[in-house]
Chains A and B, each alone.
Chain A
Amino acid sequence: MISRLAGLKYIGLTCCFLALAACSRKDQPNLDAGMNNAPGVGQAAPGSKADFATNVGDRVFFLNNQTDLSPEANDTLTKQANWLKQYGQVTVQVEGHADERGTREYNIALSARRATATRNFLIQQGVQANRISSIAYGKERPVALCDAEQCWSQNRRAVTVITGGTN
């Protein structure tokens, strides 16, 4: 029952967060977009991959050609760090990604910077460095394919992928 309540509290936080995001700068992506495939809230077992993706948020987004973390990204990553501190056996790989509107080699380096900024933030929040690896995918793995800003903004992302320690 306690954990159920904790889950509800997270739902509340997520809703506030989305509402805030919706009225932030217009070039910010819809933060809901990355979670389309996640199971419904309430179905995720606490500490599971689904819990992380649904109730915490597994990804942050970047402005065009930028690698700085936005206030929204800081919020998401603070929640990620708290979750990772709560489930101390979990290991993650931070994937850096770029949109398709850049050249291949540069986007590899740009996406590495995004992964690094994300990983460093998690470490600063107290997650042990040896639990977080990172990888740069450049523009090779877009998630949204409409060839317009509304999709490119979803592709400029860093995704924290759970690699071990939970289901």
Chain B
Amino acid sequence: MIKLFRALLIFMVVALSANHALAVNGTVTSGKIDPLPIAITPFIANAGSENDAAAISGVIANDLARSGYFSPLAPESFIEKITSFDQTPNFASWSQAKAQALVMGNVTGSGDKITVAFKLYDVNTQAFLGGSSFTAPSKLSRRLAHKVADLIYNKITGFAPYFDTRIVYVDETGPKNARIKKLAMMDQDGFNPRILSNGKEILLTPRFSPTTQEITYSAIGSDSSRVYIYNIDTGQKEIVGDFKNMSFAPRFSPDGQKVIMSLESDDGRNANIYELDLRSRQTRQITNEPSINTAPCYSPDGSRIAFESDRGGSQQIYVMGADGSNQQRVSFGNGAYSTPVWSPDGKYLAFTKQSDGGFGIGIMNVDGSGERILTEGFHNEGPTWSPNSRVVMFFRDTRGETGGAQLWSVDISGYNEQQVPTADFASDPAWSPLLK
């Protein structure tokens, strides 16, 4: 059955690819599959590790459920009780409980270290699909749980993992006409939030470096908007470049050696894209147009840059060589297109689209073909990709004085919209690469 499940997923991916040639402005209407019922048995724990064990199996179940590809069964429906990690499961009993996959786990705490081991079975074929064991400092137990969930997700769907990742975003508090906007970071599932700035500046568009050790963002202070790099380990921040004009919309290059951003022109009427080499501190102008050129994003191999420009009268997405050569408009649907973000696998651009339908989030092939709107409504903006190119996160604003931005994610099939829990309003999410 798991093989069939995986075959269906592959079929869905192929079907989505086939759609590219046909759909121009379509919303995804095919590709929904039923999530796989999976039994995550209570993890066996040594004395003193019971709470950790319960928390870890909870994190795993939550990750798998949120992906949209799994339906963790309620433990009350389990017939067999797993009492030993070495026990051979009674597969007929698990089949009767409607499980198609079975996870057994073992948690051993020792001093300030914790070890998590797991085994994954196909209930119908009784095949052992895989297992592994991880050890880390106890305070990282949630990360171990994400790693186990990543392996289960990968074994069953065939997709690359993405649970052991973080989100950098902007935490929003205060009234709508005077929002306090702070740099913040959390685990991909909304846990372990940390506020990293004091709120004195209006903090916007944070993005991780490829190593996830640094964050670049722009901040509006009392006299201008500037681009910064923040070091997560040291808590130090530095201004990127010595520009007299306003700088904004930064992003790291894939090798982490450069930051690309927009700079306001000397006459204050235009914005063009510049690249700053972090080692040599040399600045290079990449676009030179009498228009607004912003939201630049490198391709994963660093050879190209996607960005938005209003040079043709409205915001549209363009792609060019990393040296500024061959600037080509790629968005041609009805509406304004902005905030292009290259998928980590290089295949797609995610974008914000303003049209009669409001503000939508979509993806398209890099040449602009195969546009698909994943979600649409009053205000959706600012997509970012999971490192496996399967999930797009964005922010959704709600109306009214008491409304505000919240983080959501959606599968690239257009299914499985999920709110990402945050304590305050939140905007401008950016996904980290898979953590090392």
Interface residues, chain A, with chain B CB atoms under 8 Å away: 65, 67, 93, 100-106, 108-110, 112-113, 115-117, 119-120, 133-138, 140-143, 145-147
Contact = CB atoms under 8 A, between A and B. Distances in A.
A49 B348 CA distance: 52
Given A137-B220, A140-B179, A145-B177, A105 B295 contact: yes
Contact of B225 (A65, A106, A108, A117): A108
B249 A115 contact: no
Contacts of A140: 179, 181, 202, 204, 220
Given A106-B292, A116-B269, A100 B397 contact: yes
B314 to A, nearest CB: 8
A37 B8 CA distance: 62
Given A110-B292, A140-B179, A145-B176, A104 B382 contact: yes
B235 interface: no
Contacts of B204: 104, 108, 138, 140
B19 to A, nearest CB: 26
B268 A104 contact: no
Contact of B315 (A100, A103, A116, A147): A103
Interface in B369-414: 378-379, 381-382, 397, 399-401, 403
Looking at A93, A103, A140, A143, which has the most chain B CB atoms within 10 Å of its CB? A103
Contacts of A115: 268
A141 B178 contact: yes
9 contacts: A104-B205, A105-B248, A105-B249, A105-B338, A108-B248, A113-B292, A134-B268, A137-B202, A140-B220
B238 interface: no
B267 A116 contact: yes
B218 to A, nearest CB: 8
Interface string B171-193: 00000111101000000000000
Given A112-B271, A135-B223, A106 B179 contact: no
A106 B264 contact: no
A103 B220 contact: no
A55 to B, nearest CB: 25
B46 interface: no
A130 B220 CA distance: 21
B100 interface: no
Contacts of B218: 108
B382 A143 contact: no
Contacts of B315: 103, 106
7 smallest A-B Cβ distances: which pairs? A116-B268, A109-B271, A105-B249, A109-B292, A103-B338, A147-B399, A105-B294
Contacts of A136: 220, 225, 246, 264
A106 B379 CA distance: 15
Nearest to B358: A101
A126 B121 CA distance: 80
B339 interface: yes
A82 B269 CA distance: 25
A106 B269 contact: no
A65 B338 CA distance: 14
B331 interface: no
Contact of B246 (A93, A102, A112, A119): A112
A103 B310 CA distance: 13
Nearest to A142: B177
B428 interface: yes
A106 B294 contact: yes
B273 to A, nearest CB: 11
Nearest to B397: A100
Interface in B230-262: 246, 248-249, 262
Given A105-B262, A134-B268, A142 B248 contact: no
Contacts of B352: 103
Contacts of B428: 104
Nearest to B264: A112
B264 A143 contact: no
Contacts of A143: 177
A145 B295 CA distance: 26
B308 A141 contact: no
Contact of B400 (A110, A112, A147): A147
B83 interface: no
B328 interface: no
A106 to B, nearest CB: 6
B224 interface: yes
Contacts of B381: 103-104
A8 to B, nearest CB: 33
A94 B354 CA distance: 29
A116 B246 CA distance: 12
Contacts of B176: 142, 145
Looking at B179, B268, B381, which has the most chain A CB atoms within 10 Å of its CB? B268
B248 A141 contact: no
Contacts of A103: 295, 308, 315, 338-339, 352, 354, 381-382
A141 B223 CA distance: 15
Given A104-B339, A116-B267, A141-B178, 15 more contacts: A102-B354, A103-B308, A103-B339, A105-B248, A105-B339, A106-B292, A106-B338, A108-B225, A108-B249, A119-B268, A136-B225, A140-B181, A141-B177, A143-B177, A145-B177
